[in-house]
Amino acid sequence: MSTDPDHPPIALLTDAVVAFTGRGTSKIPTADEAAVFALDPQRFDEVVTAVKAALKVSDSIVVDESDRSEARAAVIAKHRELLPDLDDRAIDALVWRWAYFTFHG
């Protein structure tokens, strides 16, 4: 992704995933397109599309663990496997969102 001119740079995508989900700024996950727009208005469409694609992958993840700590490790591993171009901050935001909607939503 980072070297493909048709995709946003990883640093921008990471910031966009974190901003969109509200990780670090909200008590519960958000879907904040305005926060993504504020990062780079010229690239908004491609960035928000990439964020939503990552969310779709994240939302498809199912784990079989009854122990939440084991489930968290499995979910992190699955995110890294399915979204290898994302960095730790983006993975953390997606896992936080996934856990919220899986266990509370």
The per-residue pLDDT for range 27-49, each reduced to its tens digit, is 999 999 999 999 999 999 999 99
Asked whether residue 90 is domain-assigned, the answer is: yes
Asked whether residue 15 is domain-assigned, the answer is: yes
Nearest to 64 by CA among 15, 102, 8, 28: 102
CA distance 105 to 99: 9
Asked whether residue 14 is domain-assigned, the answer is: yes
Q: How confident is the model at residue 2 (pLDDT cuts 50, 70, 90)?
A: very low
Asked whether residue 1 is domain-assigned, the answer is: no
Asked whether residue 82 is domain-assigned, the answer is: yes
The pLDDT assigned to 3 comes to 47
Asked whether residue 4 is domain-assigned, the answer is: no
Find the Cα–Cα–Cα–Cα dihedral 5, 96, 35, 1, rounded to 10°: 0
Domain range for 23: 10-103
CA distance 58 to 4: 22
| 43 CB neighbour count, 10 Å cutoff | 16
Q: What is the pTM of this model?
A: 0.90
In the chain, the number of structural domains is 1
